[in-house]
Amino acid sequence: MSVADIPYLHPGWWLAGLGIVALFLRGGARRVVTLIAPMLALAVLIVLPDGTHGSWALMGQAVPALRMDPLARLFGIAFAIAALAGVVFAWRQESRVEGSAALVYAGAAIAAALSADLVTLFVSWEAMALASTAILWSAGPAAFPAAQRYLAVHLLGGMLLMAGIVGYVGETGSITLAGMAPDNVSRALILAGFLVNAAAVPLASWLPDAYPESSWSGMVFLSAFTTKVALLALLRAFPGAEVLVVLGLLMALYGAAYALVESDMRRILAYAIVGQQGVMLVGVGIGTPLSINGATSHAVASIFYTGLVAMATGAVLYQTGRRDCGDLGGLWRPMPFTAAAACLGALAFAGVPLASGFVTKSLVSAAAAESGLDGVRWSLAAASAASLLAAGFKLPWRVFFHRTAGLRPAEAPVSQRVAMSILAAMTLAIGLVPGLLYRLLPLPVSYEPFTVATLLGTAATMGAGALAVMALLPLLRRSNSHLPDIDQLWRGPGPRIALAIERAVQSSMRAIAALRRAGIAALVRRFQPGTRGASLARNWTVRVMVLWVVVALAGILVLSYR
């Protein structure tokens, strides 16, 4: 691969490069670099004009070094803002590995958003997997098992994606990242690789298994990039793939159901993230301009409000050292700012009017109604009601407003409150003035979210959620559970099966090695002089040797005859 011409700085790779530089710095110098790096990336993303910039000579093809269009710009800016807010939130984080890996992670996500070909996307994809694993790993020994499982799942997704890309290039001769249909094996493998990172069922459990084990600041970064880059890849490659509608609905209901019974505040958030991803996948699968805009806007808005809730729960963990809702409660008095931030993010999760989730999720619902998919629309409404109950009510209520656990921590530090203010401002701006986001969407939008019909439908959904809250309140008070998920297959019998297979393979290899040694020993004995049966090692007369030479030469002549 050679560089032909890159007249512009690539914001993603330069951000990742500064992240590597930060690994070797200490103290104030490291903090300054980590703060300035996402600002520079954000500035480049804002001023870089649309079009392709630079070129790479890759696999005999000239491909753009980066592609800037409305979709890439919107996701890139959102990623840069999330990285900047995350750096501010993690200002007190002492781990150099986490801070450096977070910038590499964000830079690789931006590079993926700007990629115009499958190979660059794959390289960015794998860089994200390694950097996010490093963020998990930096949380300490308690997070090592989760980091190993996380890496194994993402290596699986990477292998599926690589195999699909190899097959696709062999079929088409093109490495351009463009729309395709999952109508053969190679394209289905590409889709499967994207879906692994999108936390699609049945492998969605990697997200709630891994993200909560990160540090108090690590989950802020983890929640922003991997699943959203996967959604962007699906928007690029598989808009209108009907299988995504089915998977998305399953994810939306699955995430809300598990969040309802979970008691760990970070796992509640993780399952809620899966549910929101499901809504986005439905939008991609419907494939109309309105649904594509809905999936795009919901992904961008969720980067901010998910990060806001991740910050609020991270601040609680930082100040109390506790994660389980049963050990928390009544924190709104000592931590009022954090409680307000958590409530705002939770309302956006639930799609309450004037919060960003409402003006983006309603686009997907309207697209389903416009396409005559009433079953999809009602399923989304049910998932919204469950999300209202789980993320909109349960999480903030049990952490901040439930009966007190006797804790009196200090309010979150100033740096954490500044970071929460950044994402809260983005969430409120999108919710109150949706045109700010709508103007940046990849396709023209002529949609008004604040109509009577939309507000009445949302009110009905919220009413159903409120009735469910009243009915399930006793259960929610006692909800201190952790339901087994599909990841138990590889956390329980999986390792034992792998160990049994490993032992069987080792036994087979030992048996083969023993047979090989026995065969070599027998051959040596055949040639060894003075050994019984070593016929080839005997002394032969000259006449016999000449006879054998003649036979050999005759054979050569016969074989060489044309």
Q: Each residue of 99-136: pLDDT tens digit?
A: 999 999 999 999 999 999 999 999 999 999 999 999 99
Asked if residue 157 is part of any domain, the answer here is no
CB-neighbour burial class of residue 484 (10 A; exposed 0-12, middle 13-18, buried 19+): exposed
Q: What's the pTM value of the predicted model, to 2 decimals? A: 0.84
Q: pLDDT, tens digit, for every residue of 28-44? A: 899 999 999 999 999 99
Residue-level pLDDT at 309:
96
Asked if residue 326 is part of any domain, the answer here is yes
Q: Determine the residue type at 280.
A: M
Asked if residue 221 is part of any domain, the answer here is no
Asked if residue 161 is part of any domain, the answer here is no
CB of 65 closer than 8 Å to CB of 10: yes
Within this chain, do residues 408 and 524 fall inside the same structural domain, yes or no? no
Angle between helices 374-387 and 265-286 (to 10 degrees): 160
Within this chain, do residues 270 and 401 fall inside the same structural domain, yes or no? yes
Within this chain, do residues 472 and 524 fall inside the same structural domain, yes or no? no
Give the range of the structural domain holding residue 520, as residue numbers without chain letter: 493-560
Within this chain, do residues 325 and 424 fall inside the same structural domain, yes or no? yes
Residue 204 and residue 190: Cα distance in Å, rounded? 17
CB of 76 closer than 8 Å to CB of 99: no
Within this chain, do residues 402 and 515 fall inside the same structural domain, yes or no? no
Within this chain, do residues 395 and 521 fall inside the same structural domain, yes or no? no
Report the run of H or E that residue 55 belongs to, with start and end. Answer: strand 51-58
Answer with the one of 422, 457, 483 that is the final residue of a domain. 483
Within this chain, do residues 403 and 370 fall inside the same structural domain, yes or no? yes
Beta-sheet pairing, 61-68 with 2-5: unpaired
Residue-level pLDDT at 134:
96
Answer with the one of 483, 512, 535 that is the final residue of a domain. 483
Residue 355: phi, psi to the nearest 5? -110, 155
Asked if residue 462 is part of any domain, the answer here is yes
User: What are the tokens at 443?
Assistant: 């396709």
């931590």: which residue's tokens?
Answer: 335
Within this chain, do residues 418 and 509 fall inside the same structural domain, yes or no? no
CB of 342 closer than 8 Å to CB of 383: no
Residue-level pLDDT at 256:
85
Which residues 6+ apart lie within 8 Å of 61 measured at CB? 117, 174, 175
CB of 368 closer than 8 Å to CB of 376: yes
Within this chain, do residues 469 and 523 fall inside the same structural domain, yes or no? no
Q: From residue 277, how far is each of 63, 64, 201 by CA, in Å? A: 31, 30, 11
**Pick from 341, 340, 323: nearest CA to 270:** 323
Residue-level pLDDT at 263:
87
Answer with the one of 483, 508, 538 that is the final residue of a domain. 483
Asked if residue 121 is part of any domain, the answer here is no
Within this chain, do residues 337 and 438 fall inside the same structural domain, yes or no? yes
Instruction: Please state the domain count of the chain.
Output: 2
Asked if residue 102 is part of any domain, the answer here is no
Peptide bond into 202 cis (omega under 30): yes
Which residues 6+ apart lie within 8 Å of 224 measured at CB? 79, 82, 83, 86, 106, 109, 303, 306, 307
The string over 34-60, giving b where at least 16 C-beta atoms fall within 10 Å of a residue's C-beta and e elsewhere, is beebbeebbebbeebeeeebbbbebee
Residue-level pLDDT at 4:
39
**How many Cβ atoms sit within 10 Å of the Cβ of residue 474?**
9
Within this chain, do residues 402 and 508 fall inside the same structural domain, yes or no? no
Within this chain, do residues 387 and 257 fall inside the same structural domain, yes or no? yes
How large is the C-alpha radius of gyration of the chain?
29
Asked if residue 71 is part of any domain, the answer here is no
What sign for the dihedral angle of Cα 481, 487, 489, 494?
Answer: negative
Residue 164 and residue 167: Cα distance in Å, rounded? 5
Residue numbers of the chain with a pLDDT score lower than 50:
1-7, 531, 533, 562
